[in-house]
Amino acid sequence: TQLLEQSPQFLSIQEGENLTVYCNSSSVFSSLQWYRQEPGEGPVLLVTVVTGGEVKKLKRLTFQFGDARKDSSLHITAAQPGDTGLYLCAGAQSPVIPVRFGAGTRLTVKP
Amino acid sequence: DAGVIQSPRHEVTEMGQEVTLRCKPISGHNSLFWYRQTMMRGLELLIYFNNNVPIDDSGMPEDRFSAKMPNASFSTLKIQPSEPRDSAVYFCASSYAGLNTGELFFGEGSRLTVL
């Protein structure tokens, strides 16, 4: 059983469409991160959220941390082929307990 | 600045052979993590070190797996003897534990194939 459940597992959309992926847990996290991983590479951090209800924007990506700090969402506006990749959420329950990852959402954006 | 450096990038070996994976963390980082990634199980935490000391190895699958961190700039993950089910991409990541956000910086991974 994953500590963090991500949905959907797979998502294939056309360029220009919007999408939202979700990361849910029954546990409370002190911080939650979103990473993107491309084939043959390690995950790369996109954003960290630490405050319940926090919203962060990174160009066309909007990240939200749930009020109770148990869940998060990632919304991409006007997706582009360069957004293709595996999106992973990861939670840390304290500074001394390491980050655990969800299974990821594999996004494909078709031109 | 150099990121996390892992070697080898690819290794193909036969069942029963010893495999050693290497990692050089980012200078100044005091926490190091070994993860394993497969399609079936995703990214699993195997072990992590803080200030070169192993803190939690509960993710290490079996006694065949061992990890060491003899100094702040080097760590190894060893599998002996290797089995086909160990085939995966093994990632090393480092972070600075002084931050309370758990941000990780990953290497490019070592892809292991055990025949």
Taking only the tens place, the pLDDT of each residue in A85-98 is 999 999 887 765 66
Q: Which of A31, A40, A88 sits opposite B102 (nearest CB)?
A: A31
How high is the pLDDT of residue B2? Answer: 82
Going by C-alpha positions, the residue among A22, A45, A43 that lies closest to residue A33 is A45
Please check the confidence at residue A1 and state whether its pLDDT lies above 90. Answer: no
Whose tokens are 């702040």? That residue is B72
Going by C-alpha positions, the residue among A64, A62, A68 that lies closest to residue A54 is A64
Cα separation of B60 and B56, whole Å?
Answer: 9
b/e per residue A5-14 (b: at least 16 CB within 10 A): bbeeeebebe
Cα separation of B6 and B49, whole Å?
Answer: 16
Chain B contact probe: residue of A1, A93, A96, A105 with most B CBs at under 10 A? A96
State the DSSP string of B44-108. Answer: EEEEEEETTEEEE-TT--STTEEEEEEETTEEEEEESS--GGG-EEEEEEEE-TTSTT---EE--
Q: Which of A48, A98, A104 sits opposite B48 (nearest CB)?
A: A98
Phi, psi values for residue B106, rounded to 5°: -100, 150
Instruction: Give yes or no for a contact between B75 and B69, defined as CB atoms under 8 angstroms apart.
Output: yes
Distance from CA of B32 to the nearest CA of A (A): 10
pLDDT per residue over A34-60, tens digit each? Answer: 999 998 899 999 999 989 999 999 999
Average pLDDT over chain A, rounded to an integer = 92
Q: Show the tokens assigned to A8.
A: 């959907």
Calculate the alpha carbon distances from B48 to A25, B18, B93 in Å. Answer: 23, 21, 9
Q: pLDDT tier at A3 (50, 70, 90 boundaries)?
A: confident
Instruction: Give yes or no for a contact between B26 and B9, defined as CB atoms under 8 angstroms apart.
Output: no
Please check the confidence at residue A8 and state whether its pLDDT lies above 60. Answer: yes
In the three-class reduction of DSSP (H, G, I as helix; E, B as strand; rest coil), residue A9 is classed as coil
Please check the confidence at residue A69 and state whether its pLDDT lies above 60. Answer: yes
The A-side interface with B (CB below 8 A) comprises 2, 30-31, 33, 35, 40-45, 48, 50, 88, 90, 92, 94-96, 98-104
How high is the pLDDT of residue A92? Answer: 82
Instruction: Give yes or no for a contact between A99 and A92, defined as CB atoms under 8 angstroms apart.
Output: yes
Chain B residue with minimum CA distance to A31:
B101
CB-based contact B100 A98, cutoff 8 Å:
no
Write out residues in chain B with pLDDT < 70, as ranges: 1, 97-102
How high is the pLDDT of residue A25? Answer: 93
* Mean pLDDT across A95-110: 85
pLDDT per residue over B59-90, tens digit each? Answer: 898 899 999 999 999 999 999 999 999 999 99
B32 CB-side CA count, 13 A: 29
